[in-house]
Structure 1
Amino acid sequence: MPKLESVRATAEAIGRISCIKTGEEIGLLYQWDNGETQASLHNFGVQETQHCSDQPTNQDLGA
């Protein structure tokens, strides 16, 4: 059986994710013991979590 090189066991919160418009905390950034990072958004409702304002999002990220 192959050995997994990147096994996650524990994570520590290393930062807060805030809405740019309101400054409200919407999630946390975690760092795993293997060095990987992962964002975790609070579950306040799909619309509030994904879009922290009523403004439409810009889908063209290449600009």
Structure 2
Amino acid sequence: MPEFESVRTTAEAIGRITCIKTGEEIGLLYQWDNGETQAALYDDGIPSTQVCSDHSAEPDVGVKHG
């Protein structure tokens, strides 16, 4: 049985994801204890997730873009 190098156990929300057209919050960006990041997008109240381990996370919390 293969061993996994990095096992995810806990995650912390590190940023909010907002729609660039409406400014509405559409999800959260999480960072796992092994350094991987994961986006959790809201879908009618039910979060859906996407793992983004190949991308560096630069949180953009509270910044509004014009």
Which category of TM-score, normalised to the shorter sequence, fits these structures?
0.5 to 0.7
Which one-letter code corresponds to 2:44 in the other structure? F
Larger radius of gyration: 1
RMSD: 1.4
Tell me which protein shows more strand as a share of its residues. 2
The runs of at least 4 aligned residues of structure 1 exceeding 3 Å deviation read: none
Q: Which runs of 5+ in 1 are unaligned?
A: 46-63
Q: Which runs of 5+ in 2 are unaligned?
A: 46-66
User: TM-score, structure 2 length as denominator?
Assistant: 0.62
Identical positions, percent: 82
User: TM-score, structure 1 length as denominator?
Assistant: 0.65
Tell me which protein shows more helix as a share of its residues. 1
